[in-house]
């Protein structure tokens, strides 16, 4: 069976053309191949390399890590602002350590899910104070270190009000580049 399949492949029956052809003088030559088409996923590849997508990839890699108040490393655990600080630092993006201060990092984004991009920071709290922060990943979802779940989770940004869940207050964009192309604020 294997030999028959190999003969089919080598003969080109399954590939649509022979792998090699014989010239009239008996010398083996490769058939002409058309140039490869432009890579169909080139636009997606560029997107995957963007800073925002890198933030999301690093955040997703932390899902399941335990919640630890004051934690800021995968080995020890994370609190919400420690998770943001760890990911931003890994990408050389300067952000402060606390959620309250991180709520002023980067550029303010309108509180509208249509304006959010993957990698944006989303802030939460009651009254005038920001007390929780996470990373928007797209499709209405964000990643954060949840004290309630006891670990880093991905969840819906817009959730029905429930006891213990702080309302969404706003967003900040830290995945920006300056005129030299370096990440920063």
What's the full length of the chain, in residues?
185
Lay out the sheet containing 141-146: strands in order across: 107-109, 168-173, 121-124, 132-138, 141-146, 151-156
157 and 140 Cβ atoms separated by less than 8 Å:
yes
User: 80: number of CA atoms within 13 Å, CB side?
Assistant: 26
Q: Which of 76, 92, 104, 144 is catalytic?
A: 144
- Structure tokens given for 133: 């922060």
Q: Which of 76, 92, 104, 132 is catalytic?
A: 132
Phi, psi (rounded to 5 degrees) for 100: -60, -45
- Catalytic residue at 144? yes
- Catalytic residue at 104? no
- Catalytic residue at 76? no
Which residues are identified as catalytic? 80, 132, 144
């Amino acid at each position: 069976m294997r030999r028959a399949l190999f003969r089919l492949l080598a003969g080109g029956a399954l590939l649509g053309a022979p792998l090699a052809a014989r010239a009239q003088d008996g010398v083996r030559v490769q058939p002409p191949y058309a140039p490869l088409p432009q890579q169909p996923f080139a636009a997606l590849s560029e997107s995957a390399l963007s800073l925002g997508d890198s933030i999301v990839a690093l955040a997703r890699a932390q899902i399941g890590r335990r919640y630890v108040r004051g934690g800021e490393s995968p080995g020890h655990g994370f609190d919400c602002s420690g998770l943001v600080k760890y990911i931003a630092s890994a990408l050389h993006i300067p952000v402060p350590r606390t959620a309250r201060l991180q709520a002023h990092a980067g550029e303010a984004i309108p509180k509208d899910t249509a304006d959010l991009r993957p990698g944006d920071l989303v802030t939460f709290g009651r009254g005038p104070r920001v007390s929780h922060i996470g990373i928007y990943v797209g499709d209405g979802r964000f990643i954060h270190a949840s004290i309630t779940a006891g670990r880093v989770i991905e969840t819906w940004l817009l959730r029905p009000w429930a006891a213990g869940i702080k309302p969404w207050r706003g967003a900040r964009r830290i995945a920006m580049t300056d005129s030299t192309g370096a990440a920063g604020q």
